[in-house]
């Protein structure tokens, strides 16, 4: 078995730690990582982001309701906690919410921004949030602008879905523009996040080309095919359940299956 780096969780021969440069942002990030992402996903970027951001934390789990560390953070009055999640009621870096006549910076006052990011597949992320009302009840924050992912070797569910490290990068850039990051921080302080991410992407593309040249299957196409089959199976089961409930005369349950 190849030796592994227990910081970035990569094999020692392809360890990314030497490319990681820590950056000071004045924002506290907490990464909530699904166990599958933490232990099985070789191209996950949450760990790279956490290693790049001093004072950030990585917490592994699915249900965070009783998590001692999260409870400590949420009860700490030094912080202004938010969860990174889209929504009409979400804060943006410089915008004003419909439900609040002031900006995020004004709402924060002298508190430090504490951002929770869920690092998981979309399906797993929804489950994590559903099981963690202490996180879903937080105020949300999202982007002002739209962005395209550079995760070119891996197909995302939609064009505007970003990796965790890209999410951190673009959020930091927007918070800088809004004057929420301390003014003494360099304008391009977030660039090391994209530097290590792009290096990872380049390595994965080169490795995949070598596999294809050697006559081995494209692992990402294979994985995509498996996901598509699983999705089709789930949809078929939902349709069957809906039809079964309609036959038994329970329209309310049928409606739940079809939604």
Residue ranges in the chain whose pLDDT is less than 50:
253-254, 257-259
Alpha carbons 79 and 28: distance in angstroms, whole number: 9
SS (H, E, C) the chain: CCCECCCCCCEHHHCCHHHCCCCCCCCEEEEEECHHHHHCCCCCCHHHHHHHCCCCEEEECCCCCCCHHHHHHHHCCCEEEEEECCCCCCECCCCECCCCCCEHHHHHCCCEEEEEEEECCHHHHHHHHHHCHHHHCCEEECCCCCCCCCCCCCCCCCCCCCCHHHHHHHHHHHHHHCCCCCCCCCCCCCHHHHHHHHHHHHHHHHHHHHHHHCCCCCHHHHHHHHHHHHHHHHHHHHHHHHHHHHHCCCHHHHHHHHC
Residue 34 contacts residue 128 (beta carbons within 8 Å): yes
Compute how many other C-beta atoms are within 10 angstroms of the C-beta atom of residue 237.
11
Spatial separation of the C-alpha atoms in residues 57 and 31, rounded to whole Å: 6
> Can you give the residue ranges of every domain in the chain?
12-206, 219-258
Strand partners, 140: 83
What local confidence, expressed as pLDDT, does residue 245 receive?
72
Neighbours of 205 (CB within 10 A): 12
Closest residue by Cα to residue 176 from 119, 99, 113, 244: 113
Whole-model pTM? 0.78
Token output for 252: 């309310």
Residue showing tokens 């979309």: 122
Best CA proximity match to 83, nearest among 34, 39, 132: 132
Predicted local distance difference test score (pLDDT) of residue 127: 93
Q: Which two tokens stand for residue 182?
A: 């301390």
> Which tokens in the block code for residue 135?
């996180």
């Amino acid at each position: 078995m190849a030796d592994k780096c227990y910081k970035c969780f990569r094999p020692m021969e392809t360890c990314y730690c030497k490319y990681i440069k820590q950056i000071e942002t004045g924002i506290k990030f907490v990464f909530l990582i699904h166990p599958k992402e933490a232990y099985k996903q070789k191209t996950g970027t949450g760990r790279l982001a956490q290693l790049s951001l001093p004072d950030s934390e990585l917490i592994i789990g699915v249900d965070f309701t009783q998590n001692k560390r999260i409870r400590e953070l949420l009860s700490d009055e030094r912080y202004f906690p938010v969860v990174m999640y889209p929504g009409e009621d979400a804060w943006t870096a410089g915008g004003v919410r419909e439900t609040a006549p002031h900006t995020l910076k004004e709402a924060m006052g002298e508190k430090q921004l504490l951002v929770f990011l869920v690092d998981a597949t979309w399906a797993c992320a929804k489950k994590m949030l559903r099981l963690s009302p202490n996180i879903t009840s937080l105020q949300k924050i999202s982007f002002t602008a739209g962005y395209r992912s550079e995760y070119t070797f891996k197909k995302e569910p939609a064009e505007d879905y970003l990796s965790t490290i890209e999410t951190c990068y673009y959020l930091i850039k927007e918070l800088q523009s809004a004057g929420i990051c301390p003014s003494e921080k360099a304008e391009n302080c977030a660039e090391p996040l994209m530097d290590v991410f792009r290096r990872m992407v380049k390595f994965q593309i080169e490795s995949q080309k070598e596999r294809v040249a050697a006559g081995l299957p494209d692992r990402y196409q294979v994985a995509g095919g498996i996901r598509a089959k699983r999705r089709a199976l789930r949809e078929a089961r939902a349709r069957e359940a809906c039809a079964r409930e309609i036959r038994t005369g329970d329209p309310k349950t049928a409606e739940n299956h079809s939604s």
